[in-house]
Amino acid sequence: MSGFGPGDPFLADCPARLAVELIADKWTVVVLYGLSKGPVRHGELIELIGGISRKMLTQTLRRLQAHGLIRRHAYAEVPPRVEYELTPLGATLIDPIHMLTEWARANGDAVLDALDAEPVADSD
């Protein structure tokens, strides 16, 4: 009587679960959001995001690329220039991500309030 069917994000072998884990990462959502308005350079993302290290950014981008969500374009210039942009598949993720960031903007303060209000109350 659980009401969950196959394809739900349960049971480790279903693709939905894998995809959820893809984006359930500290930086993935922010990076994808940063790419949502067009191609962006590596360095721009660093400044834009703030708090991410070059290593983590590169690592996140590589993973997204491997999963087919973004495309990497390296120009043979000096100094080097590398741009990243969403693939069509990656672009389909923007809507769900926008909902998340909208939720975050609307409810972020409520979450913060709860954080210092409740000393982990237990109702019984």
Partner DNA sequence: CAGGCTAGGTTTCCGATAGGAACCAGCAGG
Partner DNA sequence: CCTGCTGGTTCCTATCGGAAACCTAGCCTG
CA distances from 106 to 24, 36, 103, 112 (A): 20, 20, 5, 12
Which one, of 57, 48, 72, lies nearest residue 25 by Cα?
57
The answer to whether 30 and 104 are in contact (CB under 8 A) is no
Is residue 73 close enough to count as binding a second copy by CB under 8 A? yes
Single out the residue of 41, 49, 85, 87 in contact with DNA (rule: CB under 7 A).
Answer: 41
> Could you give the CA distance from residue 47 to residue 123 in angstroms, rounded to a whole number?
44
Of the ranges 3-11, 70-78, 92-100, 103-111, which one interacts with DNA (CB under 7 A)? 70-78
Which listed option, DNA, a second copy, none, makes contact with residue 43 (CB within 5 to 8 Å by class)? DNA
Which range in 1-9, 59-67, 98-106, 108-116 contacts DNA by CB under 7 A? 59-67
Does 18 sit near a second copy (CB under 8 A)?
yes
Of 1-9, 75-83, 92-100, 109-117, the window that binds DNA (rule: CB under 7 A) is 75-83
In one letter, which amino acid is 76?
A
Q: Is 119 exposed, middle or buried (CB count within 10 Å of its CB: 0-12, 13-18, 19+)?
A: exposed
78 lies in the site for a second copy, by CB under 8 A: no
- The single residue among 11, 18, 24, 74 that binds DNA, judged by CB under 7 A, is 74
